Every structure is written in C-alpha cells, then in structure tokens.
Amino acid sequence: MKVSVLVFPGSNCDHDALHVSRRVMGWETHPVWHQDTTLPPHTDLVIVPGGFSYGDYLRCGAIAALAPIMKAVHRHAKEGGWVLGICNGFQILCEAGLLPGALLRNRGLQFLHQRVHLRVERTDVPFTASLKCGQLLEMPIAHGEGNYTCDEDTLVSLQTHRQIVFKYAHPSGEVNETSAPNGSLAQIAGLVNRSGNVLGLMPHPERACEASLGMVDGLGIFQSLEHHHRFVG
C-alpha cells in the first residue's frame, strides 16, 4: 500500500496521518507539498489531512481546493484511486467538488472538541469493508465548521445512491435530531462520492488508532483499506 499525505500551509494533522500510515499501519507513506503538481507514482491512497489550510481564509478549504496538487488529486480520484479527507480535508474535498455539499459553522457556534460515536451506514466501500453495518465507532471531533449541509435534491441523491457512510449517533447507537453535536443535516458525519472511492468525514480516525491514546476505533477504517487492498485490489 502506498500513501500520499497532502501538506498545505496550516495543515496540522498531517503528522498524525503520517504517523498512523507509517508506524501503525506500516504503509509506504510520503508527504506531498501543496505546490507539487503530481502524486508519487502508484499512490493508492491520498489522505487530505485536518488543520486550518491557508488559515481558513475566505471559507474553510476554499483556497486549498485550488492548490496545484489538487489537479493531481482530481485525476487520481477519476481513475478510481482512494481519497480520504479528514476534517479540514473533508471541507477541502467539498470545496474542490470531489464531494457534494458544504460544511457550515457548528449549530451552537462553538468549536467542538469531544468524543463522538459514529454509526456505520454502509460497508460495501473500501473504507468500511471490514466493519459491520450499524457498528458504532468512537473517535474525536475537533472543528468549528462541521455542520454538513446541502440542498434538498442533493440530500435525496445522497440517500438514493447510499453515499452516507457515517452518521453521528448517541452512545446507545440511536441516531436522531440531537445526535449530531454540530447540527449536521441528516446527522451526516461522513460520506463518499457516487463511485465510493472518495470519503470525507469530520471526525478524526487518525487520532483513534492506538490504545495509548485512549481510542482505537479509527483503526477500523485503515484496516478496511488494508484488507481491501490486499484481497480485492
């Protein structure tokens, strides 16, 4: 497995992603600077990490979406390559048009940093292939703008094409109007593009991969990719 972790000015979870990819998963991993125009050859997975790319100027992710490396990411995604956008990375993928919708300021205005529970909605995409539908994953969120929104037609389309992969749930597993701490539409925490090779999510799986850090459920996503890469290709 070969992984590229994008680095923008203001990325601050790039080293977490590099650490998990290299040390925890044992994958060949390369940081890729935003001014580069190509990805390392044979990249399987591009991680767009969290942070505050370009200081969140204009809108979260808006400037990063135009960075030179993003053309290569578009090509990679179009060819079926995997892209994982975490937090600010999710915002960047939305601004770049690789995923539908947008992330608004949290409903309660405040920056939220807390543990959340995600309910797995779909397991026939590479990112969740080793998980079970309805399974709960515990991992942290840390964002000011994670309140997912889109227009009604887009929401219908997301549901029709089963693009919602993770929903915010109560610890009991129940998903309802109060289970998304940031106010996300339809409790959406993460979604894929129609072909299922681009995932964006606001919670941080890369911060939940080692018992010493208190949470390990994020591993499920990386292990799903490993499993899929090894056995499905």
Partner 1 sequence: MKIRITVQLKPAILDPQGKAVEQGLQSLGFHARHVRIGRSIELDVEADTPEAARAEAQKMCEALLVNPIMEKAVIEVLS
From the list 95, 121, 145, 206, the catalytic residue is 206
Over the window 159 to 188, marking each residue x when it contacts partner 1 by CB under 8 A and - when it does not, the resulting string is ------------------------x-----
54 and 8 Cβ atoms separated by less than 8 Å: yes
Q: Which residues share a beta bridge with 137?
A: 118
Residue carrying the six token digits 């000011």: 144
Binding mask 118-157 for partner 1 (x = CB under 8 A): -------------------------------xxx------
State which of residues 2, 15, 30, 59 lies at the interface with partner 1 (CB under 8 A): 59
90-104 as b/e: b if 16+ CB within 10 A: bbbbbbbebbbbbbb
Nearer to partner 1, 97 or 214 (CB): 97
Question: How far is it, in rounded angstroms, from Cα 27 to Cα 49?
Answer: 16
Q: Catalytic site residue 87?
A: yes
> Site residues for partner 1, window 92-111 (CB under 8 A)?
95, 101-102, 104-109
DSSP 8-state assignment for residue 23:
I
Q: Report in angstroms how near the CB of residue 109 gets to partner 1 at its nearest.
A: 4
Alpha-carbon distance values, 30 to 88, 169, 223 (Å): 19, 34, 19
Nearer to partner 1 among residue 26 and residue 159 (C-beta): 159
Phi and psi angles of residue 203, each rounded to the nearest 5 degrees, phi first: -65, 165
Pairing of strands 82-86, 28-33: unpaired
Binding residues with partner 1: total (CB under 8 A): 17
**Residue 206 falls in the annotated catalytic set:** yes
> Catalytic residue among 76, 117, 204, 228, which?
204
> CB-wise, 63 or 209, nearer to partner 1?
63
The Cα-based distances of 132 to 129, 172, 176, 220 in angstroms read 8, 16, 20, 10
Pair of tokens at residue 228: 């899929």
Q: Is 204 labeled as catalytic in the residue annotation?
A: yes
Residues near partner 1 (CB under 8 A) are 58-59, 62, 66, 95, 101-102, 104-109, 149-151, 183
Active-site residues: which are they? 87, 204, 206
